[in-house]
Structure formats: structure tokens, C-alpha cells
Amino acid sequence: MELTTEFTFEEQHHIKNEFKRLKGTTYLDSAGSVLYGENQLKNVCDLLTHNFYPNPHTSKTSENLIDQVRLRILKHFHVNNYDDYTVIFTSNCTNGLKIVGETFQFDDNGSFYYQSDSHTSVLGLREIVNTKDIIPLSRNFFKEDCALETMKNSLIAFPAQCNFNGYKFPLKIIEKIHLGDNNYVLLDAAAYASSNDLDLNLCKADYVTVSFYKIFGYPTGLGALIVSKRGAEKLKKKYYGGGTVKIALTRENWHQKRDNLHEIYEDGTIPFLEIISLQSSFNYMENLLGDSFMKRISRHVFNLAKYFYVHLKSMKHYNNEDVAVLYHDTSFEDITTQSGIVNFNLKHANGSFIGFAEFASIAALHNLIVRTGCFCNPGSCQTFLNLTNEDLLKHFNAGHVCGDDNDLVDNIPTGSIRVSFGYMNDKVDAETVLDIIRKCYVQTEESSLDKTSAIKESESKNVKPVLQSIRIFPIKSCGPMIINKEWKITESGLQYDRNWMIINGDNGSALTQKHETKMCLIRPFVDETNNTLRLEFPYMDSIEIPLNTKGEEIRSASVCQTKVCGDYINGHDCGQQVAEWLSNALAINNLRLIRQNAEGKERKSGKIALANQAQFLLINKASVQWLMDQVEIWDYNKDVDNVIDRFRGNFVIENIEALTENSWKKIKIGESTFEVQGLCTRCQMICIDQSTGEKTAEPLRTIGKIFQGKTKFGIYLRLPFGLKEDCSNLVIKCGDEIVDISE
């Protein structure tokens, strides 16, 4: 299938120039948020730097400009007679929906109808509407427009476009709803308006809600509730605040609200600078793509999504089984029913599902941004993934909640993958995703896994299981220091493990290997005799810093708050020299090395250093070897030590059957007791060759396949809870025997 192009060659060139900052990233989440163009922001910046705008309650100029923006918005939605509709500024679409939910006056025996595959922002209205009669409507109800005539005195809420798969609901149904007695339509247009031309002249919804970041990418925190003249009469509001009131007596409870609808509903000071900036966004889009930019964007994203859909749908494994299951109402034949979103899950050749969280890891590895999960739309998930209420409760009880990585329960997906196109995307973006799927998931020949996956016994059965080596990662996300003798254990983990971290001096965020793969080439060496930490990097002179950075010679970092796994960690800056060395090595400006302040951080799981999850990670060499045997197509160095390195474990054990460790609850290594905290959920880090910094699809792909999509490998250990004794004498030695002491 060939792609139909909407934008001219020249236009495509201009668009490319607006998004230079994406560099190698493929952005396919326009349904989550459209990206703003470079010139769009420059225009905003010019507007705000060359003018000044006081509070609209102070300045008539500001107020007038804001009213002009209201008219510009109405024009955008094809309202010809400005008396027909009023624009109320809100903080986002959700806020607009909530206002209607709170203030809509139901007549006696009036009902609230809602489309059950709506966004959670609509579902939440069930809790606040002023009627007890609350009725869900299926997708098919709208397609067949059945039983409309029975509705009366009702508010009917539905999305103009489903944010799950881009299905466009038939808007002509609004006319039919209005034929019923005293019915009102609340149209959630957040998804639709982001890439479609919404014509309120044709579809006369009474309440329409949008978020502007979904249309322009900027500003955030601004939406609109657009209310028809007849709709306005049904709303009654109690609260007032700021300029929404004409008079309010303070010693007696009496007030009079303003006359204009938007004056009544916009409590407090509206985000006037953001509203004024909207004008720049409209101008920018018109300059780039002409007056009817929305119609053109709509065709552009439809064409791209169709192209992607057709190619993904025809992708096959060697045995002619489909690679993808697509979740759609349409086959992309008609632009009036389908927008630029493709929603799917992937499958192995044997028919088992690939978890969306695993795909998310692979996507991140390839700098691809897509959304996975249920997209705040549990109804659509339930409809398309064929889940019963019992399934949902079972998933919930198995620990799955919205937004987590629990992607498969008994090999049934709890969510899916959503690719959504925007005006900044082109054919290359669609091809990029198709290539990733081909490279990582399409099986070209029969695999041993499709038959059985017997676990191989370790060859040397009579030898005792022992600790082969210890690894510490002094600087988080950098290379290991491998220890073949012994090492001290502190109450937060192995001594010096993840005690340092590299942060971006500009914003204080921690650097991670996921994004900066070359970090693994920084090799740290702790030398206690000389009290130094030496850092090496290929083709550079090494550098040494004192192990103890708490002395006076070390100044405190100006940016000492840094985010690790949602925690803020204080650190001492390790000085200018090492900062420059790191910036040179990684070719990133303004990096700083910081040393963790306190000995460790108190968590409910015990003290831990800057490590990601737990105090220690144990990796069984035989399991790694076993895993390697399962990998069919080697796209990387086939050396077991190279692969062990990728798992970044602290303890590597040998002489034990593969995967035995997965059933342990408690073990002894030499004299020390450890509790097992659980299996380690693998992320894309294991796809980085630690000796070169190169990215490969394996072994994450194979792990996902073997463990039914649960990308878990290796076990987390911690010191026993309530360990009272002083740990200062705890030492762990290579060659120590491993004993399973689970009860």
C-alpha cells in the first residue's frame, strides 16, 4: 500500500524544521499531547516580551484581547453567530466536564446517559450528577442510533472520538437526540478536536469540552467549555470567587452573580497570559498549513494511521500466524469514522501475548514514544480486550491497577499499545515502528520454545553452589567493579554500591544508562588503601577523587536534590574537575558527580543506597546460560560473562540448576542471611551491551517470550528485617557456599 500525502514537499520541510529538537526520537503520542513547534513558542515569547499584559480585572486591554481569543476559538469551531455559543475557560477538558456535571439541572425523572467506553473524566460524572438515574450506553447504541426516541429530560455524554482507538462517533446523532423532549448533549471533544475539524454549525452539542495542549501542544493548563445558548439555561452554579460576582455582602449571606455566562463560571483569575498566547498558536498553525489547517491535519494523520494499520495487520510469523491483534471499530476505509490512532497488542508465533510493558521497554530502547496501558479508558479496554467484570476484578486482586506494569495476567493482556499520529509525523515514523516490531518480534523460523521449554540441568551436579563474584556499581548506572575476593556489607547494601550518581547540572535530574548508554563505559575502581575512587573511560586519562567526600575540601552541590525512583536525594558535589571529566567522556554539558549524603535512605523495605529497587540483586550464571540457549538470533556478543554483565547483579552464583533461585524465600551466603524480596522486573537496561554501550533487542525479547510476557529475571535480596546487630563486621566472600533456608 502506498501512502497518500497531504502536505506538500515544502510544507513537510517546514514542519521538520519546527521539531529539530526531537533529534532521533520518534514521537507517536499526539493523542497524549501534541508537540508545539519551535516557531510557535518563539511567537509566544515575542508577544510576551514585546508587550505587557496586566491582570484583566485591571486592564481593559487584556480583557479585550481575551475576548478576541474567545471569538477566535468560536471561529475555529465554525460558530458563525457569536451569540449561539459562549467560551468558558477551564483548566482542561476534565474541568469543563466537571462543571457541567456539577451544575446541570435535571428535570424530574431526568436521566444521565453516558457512553460506557468514555474517558474516566466522563465516568467520574456519575458521582456528582444531580440525578439517581444513571444509564450506560454501548458503542453500538450510537452506531445503530437505537432507542433515541425514548430519551427525555436527559443529559447525554459521549466522546466525539474514542481516545483508545480513534473511532469517531457519529455526530449527526446529536440532531436526533435533540428531537427528544428536553435533551442536552455533553460532547467530550478532547480527543476529536486534537486532530479534527469540529464544526459546531453542523453538530450543535450543548456543552463541548476541549484541552488546548491536545490541539497545539502549548499552553498546558488551559481548556474550554463551550456552551450553547440553550445549554446555558440549564446550568445553575452556587460557588463564586474572584471576578464572578457583582456584589457580595459580607455581614449577611447575599450576593449577585455577573450576567455573562463566562463571567459566572470563571472563578478566580484566569490564566490570562496563556489565553493571550493562544492567539500565537492559531497564527502559527495558519502560517504553517493554511486557514483550514485542521481539515488537513485530519487527513494527514488518517493517511498515516491507515498506512501503519494496513502494514501491521498483514505482518505474519513464519507459521502464518498474525503478529498483531488490532483493536478497531473500522478498517480505516472512511475518514469520517476513523482518526489517526492505531491500537494493538503483539503476539508470539505460538499465539501467546507479548506484554505491553515489555513492548514499552523495547520502545524506550529505540527512542520511540508511544502510550501503553488503558489510556484512562477502562470501558474501551474491556470491550476490545474482551474482559469481563470478573476478569477486571481478578486483575485488580492480582495487584494490577491503572498505569502499572502488570501487563499480562494469565497471559491475558490488561491493556494495549497505542500509536497516535500528529501533524509532525511522517512515513518514516510509521516505518520506524514497523521495523522495530519486525526486528524484535516477528519469528522467521520455528523455535524450540514453541514446542516445550525444558529447563536444562546444570552439568556439574556434585559441586556445591557458591558465590562466584561480587559486583558493585559505585556510580549509579555506570560500569561495575568486579570483586573476586571479599567485600563489606553495610546496612544499606554492599559498601560503596551506588554511592555516587551523575546528574545534569542544569535541571538536577539523574542520568541513566537507559538514555545515555555510554555510561556503562565509565569504569570505577574503589581503592581503599589510597582512599580514592578512580574512574576510567576509553581513550581518556583516568581521574581520581577522594573516597570520602564529606570532608571540608568538598563543597556542597548547588543542585543537591536529585530524583531517584521518585525520591529526592541529597548529595555532596564532588567538584569541578571530575564534573568536567564526565562531561567530556559522555559529551554532555554541565554534568555533576554527587555523593549520597546520608548512609542510605530509609524505606519500608529497609535501608538502601541509590540502587533502584533493593539492597542486592542475585544472578545465577546457569540461568543466564540457559536463557542464552533459548535466544535464537544472536544480535550481540555470545559470551556468558558479557551477558551476565547486562543484568547488573551484585552477586553472581554458580554450580546450581538454572532458575532454582526463583523459588527461594530465604538464603545464606556464607555466614550471612538474606531474605528474598522478589523477582527482578527487567527493563531495557539488559539490552545494552555493557562492554560497548550498544543496544540490542535481546535478551529482553527472549525473556518476555519464555516467561509469558513477565520480563523477570534474577532475584532481589535484602538483609533480614529488624537486623539489630551492628553490620560493621559483615563480610561476604567469593567462594562462599549458598544454602537455601526457605521455610
Ligand X SMILES: *Cc1c(COP(=O)(O)O)cnc(C)c1O
Q: How far apart are CB 161 and ligand X at their closest, in Å?
A: 7
User: Which of 434, 418, 425 minimizes the C-alpha distance to 32?
Assistant: 418
Report in angstroms the alpha-carbon separations of 283 from 40, 50, 51, 202.
8, 17, 17, 25
Please indicate whether residue 376 is annotated as part of the active site: yes
The region of 86-94, 278-286, 312-320, 461-469 touching ligand X under the rule CB under 6 A is: 86-94
Residue 92 or 277 with smaller CB distance to ligand X: 92
Residue 115 or 468 with smaller CB distance to ligand X: 115
**DSSP label of 441:** H
235 neighbors 103 (Cβ within 8 angstroms):
yes
Residue 92 or 492 with smaller CB distance to ligand X: 92
Determine if 215 is a binding residue for ligand X (CB under 6 A). no
Of the candidates 211, 380, 416, 443, which one interacts with ligand X according to CB under 6 A? 211
Q: How far apart are CB 324 and ligand X at their closest, in Å?
A: 23
654: its cell numbers: 554458580
For cell 527487567, the residue is 682
3-state secondary structure 17-31: HHCHHHCCCEECECC
Of the candidates 6, 18, 117, 188, which one interacts with ligand X according to CB under 6 A? 188
Determine if 94 is a binding residue for ligand X (CB under 6 A). yes
Residue 164 or 716 with smaller CB distance to ligand X: 164
User: How many residues touch ligand X (CB under 6 A)?
Assistant: 11
Angle (deg, nearest 10), helices 356-365 and 427-441:
120
Of the candidates 30, 92, 623, 650, which one interacts with ligand X according to CB under 6 A? 92
- Strands 353-354, 712-718: parallel, antiparallel or unpaired by DSSP? unpaired
Q: How far apart are CB 88 and ligand X at their closest, in Å?
A: 14
Residue 377 or 499 with smaller CB distance to ligand X: 377
Of the candidates 190, 275, 341, 658, which one interacts with ligand X according to CB under 6 A? 190
The region of 183-191, 324-332, 517-525, 616-624 touching ligand X under the rule CB under 6 A is: 183-191
Biggest CA–CA distance in the chain, Å, is 90
Distance of alpha carbon 68 from alpha carbon 75, whole angstroms: 10
Distance of alpha carbon 619 from alpha carbon 608, whole angstroms: 19
CA angle 129, 135, 139 (to 5 degrees): 120
Determine if 702 is a binding residue for ligand X (CB under 6 A). no
Residue 378 or 480 with smaller CB distance to ligand X: 378
The region of 87-95, 293-301, 459-467, 496-504 touching ligand X under the rule CB under 6 A is: 87-95
Site string for ligand X, 104-123 (x = CB under 6 A): ---------------x-x--
Q: Is the peptide bond before 219 cis (omega within 30 degrees of 0)?
A: yes
Q: How far apart are CB 640 and ligand X at their closest, in Å?
A: 47
Q: How far apart are CB 118 and ligand X at their closest, in Å?
A: 7
Determine if 416 is a binding residue for ligand X (CB under 6 A). no
255 neighbors 248 (Cβ within 8 angstroms):
yes
User: Which of 225, 158, 162, 221 minimizes the C-alpha distance to 194?
Assistant: 162
Q: How far apart are CB 174 and ligand X at their closest, in Å?
A: 16
User: How far, in whole angstroms, is CA 355 from its chain's centroid?
Assistant: 15
Q: How far apart are CB 104 and ligand X at their closest, in Å?
A: 18
Burial 227-264 (b: 16+ CB within 10 A, else e): bbeebbebbeeeebeebbbeeeeeeeeeeebbeebbbb
Strands (E), 591-671: 591-596, 616-620, 651-654, 666-669
User: How far, in whole angstroms, is CA 503 from its chain's centroid?
Assistant: 22
Q: How far apart are CB 113 and ligand X at their closest, in Å?
A: 17
58 neighbors 66 (Cβ within 8 angstroms):
no
Of the candidates 163, 380, 414, 596, which one interacts with ligand X according to CB under 6 A? 163
User: Which of 635, 657, 651, 639 minimizes the C-alpha distance to 702?
Assistant: 635
Residue 118 or 443 with smaller CB distance to ligand X: 118
Residue 371 or 471 with smaller CB distance to ligand X: 371
The region of 184-192, 233-241, 243-251, 568-576 touching ligand X under the rule CB under 6 A is: 184-192
Q: Which residues within the stretch 601-620 sit at the binding site for ligand X (CB under 6 A)?
A: none
Q: How far apart are CB 228 and ligand X at their closest, in Å?
A: 19
CB atoms < 10 A from the CB of 722, how many? 6
Distance of alpha carbon 525 from alpha carbon 539, whole angstroms: 17
Residue 96 or 231 with smaller CB distance to ligand X: 96
Residue 206 or 497 with smaller CB distance to ligand X: 206
- Torsion angle defined by CA atoms of residues 600, 606, 612 and 615, in that order, rounded to the nearest 10 degrees: 90
Q: Which residues within the stretch 53-72 sit at the binding site for ligand X (CB under 6 A)?
A: none
Region for 587 from its dihedrals, namely left if φ exceeds 0, alpha if ψ lies in -120 to 50, beta otherwise: left
DSSP-derived 3-state class of residue 103? helix
DSSP string, 236-264: ------GGGEEEEETTTTEEEE-SSHHHH
Q: How far apart are CB 92 and ligand X at their closest, in Å?
A: 3
Determine if 159 is a binding residue for ligand X (CB under 6 A). yes
Distance of alpha carbon 487 from alpha carbon 480, whole angstroms: 14
Strands (E), 411-457: 412-413, 416-420
Angle (deg, nearest 10), helices 640-647 and 621-630:
110
- Strands 556-564, 543-546: parallel, antiparallel or unpaired by DSSP? unpaired
Q: How far apart are CB 206 and ligand X at their closest, in Å?
A: 17
278: its cell numbers: 493562544
3-state secondary structure 50-93: HCCCCCCCCCHHHHHHHHHHHHHHHHHCCCCCCCCEEEEEECCH
The region of 137-145, 187-195, 235-243, 726-734 touching ligand X under the rule CB under 6 A is: 187-195
DSSP string, 332-391: S--TTTB-SEEEEEEE-TTSPEEPHHHHHHHHHHTTEE-EEE-TT-HHHHHHHTT--HHH
Residue 162 or 543 with smaller CB distance to ligand X: 162
Residue 97 or 734 with smaller CB distance to ligand X: 97
The region of 186-194, 251-259, 289-297, 475-483 touching ligand X under the rule CB under 6 A is: 186-194
Residue 29 or 391 with smaller CB distance to ligand X: 29
Q: How far apart are CB 180 and ligand X at their closest, in Å?
A: 24
DSSP-derived 3-state class of residue 547? coil
Spot the catalytic one: 162, 203, 376, 683: 376
Strands (E), 160-271: 184-188, 207-211, 223-228, 245-249, 254-257
Q: How far apart are CB 98 and ligand X at their closest, in Å?
A: 9
Indicate which residues carry an active-site annotation: 376
Given the rule CB under 6 A, which residues bind ligand X? 92-94, 119, 121, 159, 163, 188, 190-191, 211
